[in-house]
Amino acid sequence: MVKILVVDDEAIIMMQLEKRLTAMGYIIAGMASSGEEAVAKARNIRPDLVLMDIVMPGNMNGIEAAGVMRGELNIPVIFITAYADDAIIEAAKSVRPYGYIVKPFNELGIKAAIEMAMFRRGIEHEEQKSGKSAPEKIVTGADGGTLVQNDLSYHDLPEIKTILLTDIFTDLVIFLYTDQIIKEPIFKFALEEGLKKGGRNLFAYSHSTLQKYFPKEILKKELYTYRIKRNEVSALLPVIDKCTESLLYPGSTDSLQILLDFSESDEFDDILAIKDLLLSKKERHTPVSGIIAMNIGKIDHTLIQSLARGIPKIIVSTGKETSLSFAHHSFPAESISVVPQSTIDDVVKKSLEPVVLSLLDKPISGYDIVHEIHSRYNVLIPHARIYTILHDLQEKGDLEIITSGKSKLYSLTVNGKKNIDQKLNDFQQVFQHIISDKRGLTADKKDKKI
């Protein structure tokens, strides 16, 4: 079992993580509320993995603590933080984390991050033992970033469809996902591109509605479909044999593109047997390529490692945003217009800032600000956006952090009270001006009608 050290100065967050991680079968090796305490506990208990907040009280923040754990103790660290601004992300990269999760988190996102971190850790250990450098093995789309294992390079908004298009016609690819709904557009794309290439195409699934898009191709036997029944995964072995038996005949120019979705199956030994059969076909130069897909919520890092053995690339999609952002065209294309994320962030920040400032008249926690906004306005705001505003105010010296029991409270400094009072006054004047303009415009219209 994976032993995890949880580090966060918010007692509520630690309790949530403890409950969720325990329910997922992980062992909570310890908990800490500061960077110094985290390092001390890590030295003592040697956890398999650390889930680390970044901004915490004390002389050592989460990034500095992660640097010690990676450098001295060689322990993998995943950051779980409310901060998503560029400066903090750049600083976090310097300690080579195994993941970066922005609060508020969900169980599948955390499980995916943990399992992929442990999988990557296992690969590194194997490579260290053999004295080889790690091959380019993992491409992960969690939170919109790419991680290539050999040089730990990061890229914004990788395009999953481009990755699939590059690889599914030359090799076997593992696609791990968490969202049952969002996988369908990706699968539809893969089938469409396979049919454009020609040759044979095999789509095996437990439940899917994609067949309705390809009635002609199925009728013309350009696309073979096979429903995987429960406890009958092994029945797919002779199907694959039959689809590939004539591909090596002299003069044959055919190839086989596969899409095997094992999302509803827990027959892991049979899935491994199918993977091994496909690899053996490739070793005999049978032109077979495509995707083996699984729901990452049903497997752990040891199973991922077994599944990945012999496969050159793994793609991980951990959420709705990942698949939609990575697409080189949207779904449906005609109904979506693209606005730069920087523009959206700027508009949201300007709209949200006066609301947050109005709640700082007394010491308050970030959690309570989120809750208060939800209660007053019936709007759910991502924690990261609120904490980014609070962090900016801290950097300017307008806010300081005080502790009350196990809670971290944001409190105005003397200068901060003056500055924020002035800002709120400015906002009030702007809003009054807008309202008066609106009323004046309405009055003008009425006058004209009279």
CATH number for the domain spanning 419: value is: 1.10.10.10
Tell which wins on pLDDT, 296 or 189: 189
Tell which wins on pLDDT, 310 or 258: 258
Res 450 pLDDT > 90:
no
Give the domain-ending residue among 334, 353, 377: 334
pLDDT at 49: 95
Q: Which of 17-31, 147-161, 174-188, 300-314 has the lowest mean pLDDT?
A: 147-161
Residues 226 and 286 in one domain: yes
Residues 184 and 295 in one domain: yes
Q: How many domains does the chain have?
A: 3
Residues 316 and 232 in one domain: yes
* Burial 18-31, CB ≥16 within 10 A → b, else e: eeebeebebebbbb
Interval 148-176 mean pLDDT: 60
Residues 255 and 364 in one domain: no
Residue 91, domain extent: 3-127
Residues 58 and 148 in one domain: no
CATH number for the domain spanning 170: value is: 3.40.50.300
pLDDT at 331: 29
pTM of the model: 0.51
Residues 247 and 328 in one domain: yes
- List pLDDT tens digits, range 230-248: 889 999 999 998 888 877 6
Give the domain-ending residue among 127, 144, 178: 127
Interval 108-119 mean pLDDT: 83
Tell which wins on pLDDT, 350 or 282: 282
CATH number for the domain spanning 91: value is: 3.40.50.2300
Give the domain-ending residue among 127, 146, 176: 127
Interval 206-232 mean pLDDT: 91
Residues 94 and 145 in one domain: no
- What is the band of 201 on the pLDDT scale with cuts at 50, 70, 90? very high
Residues 292 and 201 in one domain: yes
